[in-house]
Structures are given as structure tokens and as C-alpha cells.
Amino acid sequence: MSDKIFEHIDHNQNDDSLTISHSQDISGILAENKRAREAAEGQKMGENVRVASIPSVVVMQWMEEGINVMAPNREDQKRIKKKLNSPEWAYLRTGGGRL
């Protein structure tokens, strides 16, 4: 499992624009999240329980969407919770239930 993020720069010669994108191999993180979800099945959620493991490349994406993942205010916390409760981002969760 690697946290290494790859940066890709594409130069469009037609309009001389640059597009910068990022990628990361998140297969190890997702496999560990799945194992953690299975291990947590049937357990009660309490305080200070890990609920998700979010890959760096996803953190970057959410930050670009205006969600401050690193120092979230109340609104950011609501948006993060909504994402983690959605089926689209369920693979980031490390436990069952809803947040």
C-alpha cells in the first residue's frame, strides 16, 4: 500500500493550455477498508472509532470541491459525513451503520 501520488501534466498544443491531474494506487487502502468493515460488523460505534480511511488523492479531490478535509468547520463536517454515508463513497468506510 502506497500513499504515493502521481502528477500528470498534459499540454494541449491547440490552445496552449495545461491540464494537471493526480492519480494514486488505492487498491491496498480499499482492501484494508473492506477488512476493517467486515471485522467491525455487529460492533457498536462509540467515540474515537475510526470510521473511514480516505486516500490522499480523494482528499485532494474533496479539497478542490471546497471541502476542507484537513481542518473542517461544521459545514465541511456535514459534507464529509454526507459523502461517507453515500453509496458512491461507501468503500472508504471502515465500519458499518451511518455516521
> Is residue 91 exposed (0-12), middle (13-18) or buried (19+ Cβ within 10 Å)?
middle
15 within a domain of the structure (yes/no)? no
Does residue 34 have a pLDDT over 80? yes
Tell me whether residue 36 is in a domain.
yes
Structural domain harbouring 64? 26-92
Q: What is the pLDDT of residue 80?
A: 97
The closest of 55, 70, 48 to 22, measured between CA atoms, is 55
Q: Supply the pLDDT for residue 2.
A: 58
Q: Report yes or no on 49 lying in a domain.
A: yes
Q: What would the pLDDT profile of 57-76 be if each residue is shown by its tens digit?
A: 999 999 999 999 999 999 99
pTM, rounded to two decimals: 0.76
Residue 32 lies in a domain: yes
86 assigned to some structural domain: yes
pLDDT reading at 83 higher than 90? yes
The domain tally of the chain equals 1
pLDDT band at residue 85 under the 50/70/90 scheme:
very high
Q: Which residue has the higher pLDDT, 5 or 47?
A: 5
Answer whether residue 1 shows pLDDT above 60.
Answer: no
What are the beta bridge partners of residue 9?
20
Q: For residue 92, how many other CB atoms are within 10 A of its CB?
A: 18
* Distance in angstroms (rounded) separating the CA atoms of residues 33 and 99: 16
Q: What is the CA radius of gyration of the chain?
A: 16
Question: Has residue 50 been placed in a domain?
Answer: yes
Q: Is 97 helix (H, G, I), strand (E, B) or coil?
A: coil
Secondary structure E strands in the chain: 6-12, 17-23
Other Cβ atoms less than 10 A from the Cβ of 76: the count is 17
